[in-house]
Structure 1
Amino acid sequence: MSENNRVTLQDIADEVGVSRVHVSRAIYSRGYVEERLRKKILKKAEELNYAPNRLATALVSGKTMNVLLAISKGFYYYDIMSPVPNMIKCISNELEKYGYWLQVSADLEERRDIKADGIIILGGSEKKFRAFPEELFLKPMVTSFKMGGNKIETVEKYSIPYVAYDAFSGLLKLAEFVAKKNISKVCVMNLPSGNDPFPVKISEISTVFQKYGINVGKDDVINIARKTERLTSQILDVMPILKKYELCILSSEILASHFYQAASIAKLKIPEDISIAGYDNAYYTQNFNPPLSSLYFSIEELAQKLVSLLISSINGDKGERYHVMNTDFTDRGSIR
């Protein structure tokens, strides 16, 4: 170890029994290293608490060692208690392994002087990409989104590497779980974000549940106006309607805390009086009583894949350009 007790690349090389060049390639993704050896080097670096000297790296490489994470204002505001904060943390942790800092921005459409080596976009859409200044597309860029609609065609049109997660796999497991419990009356509580009262997300639920003989049609969709201060009272207003259903699926877990509060006010017990399931696996819903059963996907895997694709793009590597993740379903006791 160096005199100032800072772990160096040479320290890691000595521990693993390889050259300093191999360690540099593995940690900074500069050139080929056999995958088994790369994992061994990264594991040893983590054990030794190696912290890359980002300033030195930036001076040598000519890079800023910054990555910009773009989140639309609406997405971040409405999902402040969703997986998004955890996504930011996981992405930041992954970037640190490569010696990069993470910056977060909510106004990418207005920025032209971005001093970053690459951009990560949470939630890709045609409207969003059209609004970006042309200068942005000169930088390495990756995006993530839930599959549906024409999103894949959109990102491929702009030649942007992506990580997508497919809700169908999780919905199939939820529908199978519900069918085994002989639940047949299912509704969806929806928080519309546009003029479409039957959006893609609900169409997916309807299609999947139909495979198990459970009909979820337009008449089974309960729309709640997107007014945060009135969500609980709106849910209370529709409680008489909910009583005729055995299960209510929340299309957005922004609704979750308000639903639990409304049920408490109405003196309804979950799941004894009404069963509910979530769609987004917001972390805070795991602390409810009972915790919310929900679809979920690995945020850690999402972060790892996004960063891996971006680093490859920054380094000019021509490898994997997309990754599709499956979702799952976990029962936490909110379905009777």
Structure 2
Amino acid sequence: MSNHSARGRVAGLPAWDRCAVMGVVNVTPDSFSDGGRWFDTTAAVKHGLHLVAQGADLVDVGGESTRPGATRVDEAEELRRVVPVVRGLASEGVAVSVDTMRASVAAQALAAGAALVNDVSGGLADPAMVPVVAEAGAPFVVMHWRGFLQGGAVQGVYEDVVTEVADELRARVEAVLDGGVAPERIVVDPGLGFSKEAEHDLALLAHLDRLLGLGHPVLVAASRKRFLGRVLAGPEGAPPPARERDAATAAVSALAAHAGAWAVRVHEVRATADAVRVAQAVEEARGHAHTPGGITPGGSTPEEAR
């Protein structure tokens, strides 16, 4: 597959010639893998800049944990956490995504310089979200979501997970389009780990082509998630802790990039930045397999190409 044509591009964001890397900054005390580590504004901005230095193309800033069982933070506290970090990173020229389910947070983050709204509820949690995004003309990530995860997984039962997730995403995208968001500004996300067991997450990764068939760029957010712990543990073992799942995350990033994902969202950027570049190089080699001497366009060396 021609990766760039399959990947698509998102109006209002840079066009990358490979799968983009979205680094995560959780400005929360309780996120599942790095809660509390970047909790104050200065530390969070510094961490975001570090992610860019490691190879992140975008930085996703969130002030509310969405791990199963997490209780919601109140609006004032989410604003206090998120907006100064967005402003600090945007002022340094970073392409910032705001990870929020609240329209007020999205609006203030966009005003502070955010370039993208990443709503894990796809606009379902706050009826004002889609109008805010449409009014701002901002790109919008529509994730597959079946409700808040307080009290455990919600409706994680599927007859055919790939078909059901694709159908539910299609319906949600249509609602977002009806709400005035432009089609070229919509990204879809299968919502790995949200109301899904390990076998569901793996099936969705195995069939990303079905999600690409929705006609919008696809974001894959697998980083450190529970299904990777299950894969690494094997049938009998205990899953390794979240922060020991970065190599597995990078493997998913390579697979997602190869399948045509527009971007991957990760906590540890360096290994994934390398993985998506390797995937791109392999795709280019397939396209240039018959080029005499195998010279890359422009004659650049690998060192120059980085």
The verdict on a shared fold, with TM-score over 0.5 as the criterion, is no
Q: TM-score, normalised to structure 2's length?
A: 0.32
Q: Which protein is bigger by CA-based radius of gyration?
A: 1
Return the structure number with greater strand share: 1
